[in-house]
Amino acid sequence: MAEQEASGLQVLLRTLQSSSDRESILTILQLLGDLLSGGTDRRIRYMISKGGSEALLQTLVDTARTASPDYDILLPLFRLLAKVGLRGLGAVLGIGNTMVTKTDNGSAVMELTFKQRRAEDKKFGQKALELEALDVTLILARKNLCHSQNLLHCLWALRVFAASVTTAAMLGINGAMELLFKVITPYTQNRTRIIRAATEVLAALLKSKSNSRRAVNRGYVVGLLRLHQDWHSHDTANTYVLIRRGLLLCLKHIAALRSGREAFLAAQGMETLFSTTQNCLDDKSLEPVISIVLQILRQCYPKSPLPLVTASSAYAFPVPGSVTSDPPCVLTEDFEDDGDEEVDKDSDSEDVKEEDDDLETDVNKLTSKPGPDRPEEELRQYEAMCLELSCSFEDLESKPGDDLSFEETQYANHHHIPTAASLKRHCLSKDQLSWGQEREDTGRTSLLSTVKMGRSSVHLASGKAPGMNPYQNAQSSGLGIDSSGSEIPDIQAFLNEDAWDIDAMSCPRMSASFSNSTRPRDATEVINKLLQTHPQHIPFHDPCLYMAKARRTRSVADFKMMAFPDLWGHRPPPSAQPMLERKCGIQRIKIFEDIRRLLQPSDIINKVVFSLDEPWPLQDTASDCLRFFSKFESGNLRKAIQVREFEYDLLVNADVNNTQHQQWFYFRVSGMRAAVPYRFNVINCEKPNSQFNYGMQPTLYSVKEALLGRPTWIRMGHEICYYKNHYHQSAAVTGGASGKCYYTLTFAVTFPHDEDVCYLAYHYPYTYSALMTHLDILEKSVNPKQVYFRQEVLCQTLGGNSCPLVTITAMPESKSADHVEQFRQRPYQVITARVHPGESNASWVMKGTLEFLVSSDPVARLLRENFIFKIIPMLNPDGVINGNHRCSLRGEDLNRQWLSPRAHLQPTIYHAKGLLYYLSSIGRSPVVFCDFHGHSQKKNVFLYGCSIKETLWQAESTVGTSTLVEDVSYRTLPKILDKLAPAFTMSSCSFLVEKSRASTARVVVWREMGVSRSYTMESSYCGCNQGPYQGLQFGTSELEEMGAMFCLGLLILELKSVSCSHHLLTRAATLLNAEEEVLDHYLQRCSSSSSSITSELDDEPACLEEIDYSTDSSSDQEGSFSELDRQIQECAFNKEEGDEEEEGPGQGRKASP
């Protein structure tokens, strides 16, 4: 049957080409039209595969070249050609549906349908050129300038031909643009369908750079601007929006060339489009016009360097192995041309590199296990870090405080160290479980049982609309109630009576006195007095101990100040904060404000009020501007420029010894007025997208609120958006192959108090000194007879700071040989975090892990009794201390150094890897290795793992897979976490091994140490879009909860394993006091479905405003083709008698909102 159909279609096509009988040709065209209009695109592709394109094109040429062309044949022929050309080109351009298939683990795989049917007729334009159909169509169009119906069909065909850039260039050479300018006239209510089709053809032609260059040389830019102005001013009813859009698309494509932008600017194009559009931003019917206008304005906004003296970091650190320092990279205005190439290239002429190209497909590389990267005898040094394996029981007893210096002991202020009774209970169920710290609480429900009992409701900040100030209920009198209900004294009165300077107090020196005080005081005395008058009880935190730790912390800039939030501490807010609802149109409003700054600069102050690069102080304390400061641990703000009275441009510092990675910020601001919205624009961000576009807010800490009893980092800010700006760096400065673009994060903040001191940060800060304080207090909080907690130094960093290594397990039940042997034979779990300094969320997850592991929860006890935890809570202390976002003091990403680290260049990675090598060499490789990270472009928490088979399958490589045997247990832990942890989702997990990740911890530990369960755990900076926390931003409680849930997952992973001992199962049932069905619920051996949440196909859906990230959006292409297809379909069903019916004011199609 299929052969009969094939032969029948081929007969029709051959007859069409060879027949000279008019009726036969019409009949065949009718049959083909019915065939193609009644089915799916498969019929068109099938026809193309049988030579349908060539047959139709040849028939067109033959018919057109007769003495008197027969338009009864030509018109249906043009419609068929347009339909066939649309489908063939649509596949190339990505027009089509997506198909989502489910894998056995529930994750979704997106497959574009056109990927599987590789654009059968992507050479449609080339065929038309070779068969001379281009010339014929142009000739017919010229002959029918006054015959609307015939001309419209010619324009449809030209539109399809012009989709190929090379064909478009040939049409331009043959005078197509001159022809179109005869058709496109100033405003009229006649022939509007023709004019609209002509603008679409012209826009397609101008995607060719040679055509755009020709348009510039012939002065078409001025003409197009005048045409747009004319149609805009007369089309008051917005009837002909699509004609106006077509004219703007022409300008957009011309502006892709530098010469085009210059011509546009010379023609006052910025002023013209700005003035015609600024009052229409809220008109949804003008959406097709406004989006293109904004793209043009952004394209043509003159590029400028950042307002910095150098692209290099303001901080420099001499490190071993550095090349002789070059002079600083001075920012210049030498911007390379990014669009004036001489040769036009079709997008379909070169294979586009896909993400799958990064997948490792070399089976040898995936399966081979390289030997150690150092001599075996060198591994013996790590025996000292595993004393639990060799020392006697007496030696194992921890002695809290042994490592504390006299200074730290003096300031430890032990009555502030949380006792068992005062420790906060945390949320730990799939919704809200609680766990205690080290306390005997035999009546408490076990963790597993609480999970089994079900989910409690998640409490939102009720009554607070998105964007409202969470501090709005703060009492303006200065009196407040702390979280325990106690009244807090009047702050202002307290400050005034003792002549304290809140600015100085809010960022105290580590050892010096406050300059404005009536008498000198030691900083510790000040803090003690503050604690007496404003008591705060924050678990596992002590301000005086923090101060002692901060004094020992070494920074590149030799910081003398401490940030008040880090010193005073943070208590999580009582309720979760919802994601901010994005205000519709906010981004275009901000972009228009940027453009107004360029065109109407009369109200711009442009005053530098803070800079790390210029002598201090810059700020006049008597002025009305805000005061900024960032020279404290983890601080990052390089420069602040006052733009308007309540608006500031901010620039963050690049990573030390680097010119990149500007994302993390953390700074102090003071001198504000309450209830006044201040706008901050961070103008040198680098990532192309951000969760700030999808509900995420920065964090804010108010000193006055802290002294009122609310020492809390909260999410704050409204009118937030993140978009590409006009700042640019040349390739000479960046050292790359091309220049670098920058992005603006803009947000408004309304401060809660007058003359407050507030801190703003990218995310909840967590400093190195906070970690060291936390570890010391944790060590004191445990019962050394039950918990083995050992804190030691893995190595010294390049900056001279200690990288801590923590060992946690249970002490032996007794000194008997059997119990000591069981102690020594416990398997290892290795957890690391904070290799990227800006990912402070990883430290909060780690904090939850540490606190849970030393707690009295039955699950924690079981974990300690059965595992030895080796934890490196901060792999990059120097980066954290100095406010870096990504790198070490050498300016390199330490998570790309695991393949060949060197002790004198990457000491923390070298010794972390050495420790893992040592464990592997003695047959004690960890059951699980996990590196905690933060993710800036996805929501939820998820794992990345490693799988050979999944990688090869995704890469569509079958080489050697038939004989591969792989342990599939790498999926078990994420499946467990998907069931337990409210923030975790299996649907975002991935187990692919990419070439670009070959030197990361996850891949190296998996490949070189043979740890099949080697993971990176990513936590969103933002929050969740699934599960009980759906629509909520992460607070520190939720992040800490995830750390505890990870521990619970490790226990269940062991209980589910085939090798789990009967003793452990019995111990679990006894210690957890669990009913049999509770354990059965979790220990079922059969596989079960994982998350039922539908996977997102992309990290995020497209922003409502398409112009957010790129001026090269292909939306105009896709929309234009679908609309052209609609027109052809309509025409095919209408009688073709006489001229077209004109689109008058009451008949034209308005753009849909």
Length of the chain: 1153
Supply 207's token pair.
């995607």
Diameter over CA atoms, the chain: 111
Contact 150, 144 (CB under 8 A): yes
What lies within 8 Å, CB to CB, of 424 at 6+ separation is 418, 437, 539
639-644 and 718-729 as β-strands: parallel, antiparallel, unpaired?
A: unpaired
Catalytic residue among 360, 408, 705, 1018: 1018
Phi, psi of 1079 (to 5 degrees): -65, -40
Measured distance CA(840)–CA(767) in Å, rounded? 8
CA distances from 620 to 471, 501, 624, 626 (A): 28, 16, 9, 10
Tokens 């976002």 correspond to 885
DSSP letter string over 491-534? HHHHHHHTT--HHHHTS-BSSSPPTTSSS---HHHHHHHHHHHS
Contact 115, 1139 (CB under 8 A): no
Q: What is the CA radius of gyration of the chain?
A: 34
Measured distance CA(402)–CA(405) in Å, rounded? 8
Phi, psi of 830 (to 5 degrees): -120, 125
Tokens 């406004």 correspond to 290
Measured distance CA(926)–CA(623) in Å, rounded? 59
Contact 267, 229 (CB under 8 A): no
Sign of the dihedral defined by the CA atoms of residues 890, 896, 898, 900, in that order: negative
Measured distance CA(753)–CA(471) in Å, rounded? 9
Q: Is the peptide bond before 617 cis (omega within 30 degrees of 0)?
A: yes
CA angle centred on 700, ends 695 and 702, rounded to 5°: 150
Contact 758, 835 (CB under 8 A): no
Classify burial at 66, counting beta carbons within 10 Å of its beta carbon; exposed 0-12, middle 13-18, buried 19 or more.
exposed
Residue type, 1106: E
434-435 and 480-481 as β-strands: parallel, antiparallel, unpaired?
A: unpaired
Supply 649's token pair.
């441009």
Q: What is the DSSP letter of 1095?
A: P
From the list 866, 826, 873, 872, the residue with the least C-alpha distance to 847 is 873
Alpha helices (runs of H) in 19-100, residue ranges in sequence order: 22-37, 41-49, 52-64, 71-93
Contact 1082, 447 (CB under 8 A): no
Measured distance CA(977)–CA(430) in Å, rounded? 10
Q: Does 686 participate in catalysis according to the annotation?
A: no
From the list 234, 222, 245, 236, the residue with the least C-alpha distance to 187 is 234
Residue 395: in which H helix or E strand, if any?
helix 393-396
Measured distance CA(713)–CA(1035) in Å, rounded? 9
Task: Count CA within 13 A, CB hemisphere, residue 479.
Answer: 4
From the list 670, 761, 786, 713, the residue with the least C-alpha distance to 538 is 713
From the list 374, 376, 382, the residue with the least C-alpha distance to 919 is 382
CA 429 from chain centre, in angstroms, equals 28
Sign of the dihedral defined by the CA atoms of residues 1100, 1106, 1107, 1113, in that order: positive
Question: Which residues does the annotation mark as catalytic?
Answer: 1018
